[in-house]
Amino acid sequence: MAKLKLAVLISGRGSNLQALMAACAEPAYPAEIVLVISNHAEAKGIKWAGDANLPTLAINHKDFSNRADFDRKMTAAMNDAGVELVCLAGFMRLLSEEFVTYWRNRLINIHPSLLPAFKGLNVQARAITAGVKFSGCTVHYVRNEMDVGPIICQAVVPIHMDDDADALAARILVQEHIIYPQAVRWIAEKRISINDEKVDLDKPIQSDGSMINPMD
Ligand code: GRF
């Protein structure tokens, strides 16, 4: 069966890009990366992708007078590459309404909190400050409102009493690298449907356990 063609959009480190690249390197994985786009030419992920012989494109947003034109450039490049699913992976640019509408239900993101809690930036520090005992990450479809959209998959991690934001971010990142390739695989396998802005997964394995943190 033909593999689902992915674009991965990054701005920096690119560890989620690397997780997707590793998944796509497995012969049985049902998706392939056909384009990596960064708004920073020096993003580490762009170098890794280039080293792995993936097509890359650095587009400097400062070369565009408005957001919509920058987004149109990305859409044109993705259409040329035959992209079927756009994966945001640490892409630190707000997207125009036109772009989000054009790619509706073909555009997903990963966010390092259990949405709808802690949208936006500095979410690990904010979770610690709020004193919540669990955090995690969310893969979701993108809608116009930031960090809103049908949730495909979440992973939970405990927050330890001596955590700082970096320690919590590192614990969450391990799970990000698991659930992002998993969510993409489900989409490629056509097991996902969106009903009333909720995601249903065909043939899920569902956990009926619970977690308590801290423990005594
Ligand atoms: C991740 O924490 C992701 O959840 C968030 O941005 C970060 C990107 O990290 N959207 P990386 O560039 O994939 O390493």
Predicted model pTM:
0.97
Q: Which residues form ligand 1's pocket by a CB distance below 6 Å?
A: 10, 12-16, 89-90, 110-112, 137, 173, 176
Average pLDDT, integer, range 53-71:
94
The residue extents of the domains of the chain are 1-103, 109-201
Nearest to 196 by CA among 150, 153, 146, 138: 150
140 is catalytic: no
Same fold, 1-103 and 109-201: yes
Question: Alpha helix (H) ranges present in the chain?
Answer: 15-24, 44-51, 67-80, 97-102, 123-130, 165-188
pLDDT tier at 106, thresholds 50, 70, 90:
very high
pLDDT surpasses 90 at 1? no
Architecture per CATH, 109-201: 3-Layer(aba) Sandwich (3.40)
pLDDT at 207: 86
Give per-residue pLDDT as tens, 186-202: 999 999 999 999 999 99
pLDDT at 175: 98
Give per-residue pLDDT as tens, 76-86: 999 999 999 99
CATH of range 1-103; options 3.40.50.170, 3.30.70.1900, 3.40.50.10680, 3.40.190.10: 3.40.50.170
Q: Which atom of ligand 1 is nearest to the CA of 12?
A: 12
Average pLDDT, integer, range 42-62:
93
Q: Which atom of ligand 1 is nearest to the CA of 15?
A: 14
Give per-residue pLDDT as tens, 117-176: 999 999 999 999 999 999 999 999 999 999 999 999 999 999 999 999 999 999 999 999
